[in-house]
Amino acid sequence: RHFISVSEYLSRNILASYPRLNGHITIAHPGIEVQTISDKKITELREHFRKKHNIPTSAFVLLFVAHGFKRKGLPAIIKALEVLDNKDIHIVVAGSGESKDIKINSPVVQSNAHFIGVIKNMNELYPVADAFIHPTLGDTYGMVVLEAMSHQLPVIVSSAQYCGFSEHLLHNEDAIILNDPKNSTEILDDIQTLSNQAEFQSKIANNGFKKAQNIN
């Protein structure tokens, strides 16, 4: 028997339970077709989305996409944003999950957290954000990270210990890698870095986009 795995992360987990499979696993990394969107279309999408959700054009918008908010790290993000207490930082939460299960104490974060549910056309959602954040506690690969990078979003993501896709990435080059996705202080510092340093933000976005193209 031979098994096809999507990542080194998954292969390690399989071998931990089934050591006899050593030498019988091949890794085939998933890829995506990069969608090209014109600058004009991106501007239209951003303007429409921000107007619809009452987000100022000057705001820094984080995007979080998941099925299962807690397992993908949303509570740690919310805690970081509560400490920041910055009215100019918003977070858009897409995917399936219960917003009522996510405790938010700060009135600023309550106002700036937008739970929009499952989105059919994600290609029209990624461009409305300024950065993508994925502090997952366990992802065999993490296709959403690759998709975000293909849309030229700078990414904050868990290390390869937690996310298979991070095995492709270099810290502070292709993405910002979290050593501990449960550490809200680390997340806070990385959000501040991206929102305050435009040149660094552009570097991560451009390098991440190139990486996404090479993986396809």
Segment 111-145, tens digit of pLDDT: 999 999 999 899 899 999 999 999 999 888 888 99
Cα(37)–Cα(46) distance, integer angstroms: 12
> What type of residue is 18?
Y
* Secondary structure class of 60 (helix, strand, coil): strand
Q: What is the pLDDT of residue 5?
A: 64
Helix (H) or strand (E) holding 27: strand 25-27
What does the pLDDT look like over 10-40, one tens digit per residue? 667 767 777 877 876 766 666 666 667 888 9
Q: Which amino acid does the sequence have at 202?
A: S
Q: Is the pLDDT score of 193 beyond 80?
A: yes
Residue recorded with tokens 């908010």: 69
Q: What token pair was written down for 30? A: 């998933």
Question: Helices (DSSP H) in 18-122: which residue ranges?
Answer: 39-52, 74-84, 107-112
Instruction: Kindly tell me if the per-residue pLDDT of 70 is higher than 90.
Output: yes
pLDDT interval class at 3 (50, 70, 90): confident
First and final CA of the chain: distance in angstroms? 28
- 98 Cβ contact list (under 8 Å, min separation 6): 69
Task: Output the pTM of the full model.
Answer: 0.86
Residues 6+ apart with CB under 8 A from 159: 166, 177, 178, 179, 181
Average pLDDT, the chain: 90
Triad 166, 194, 51: Cα angle to 5° = 110
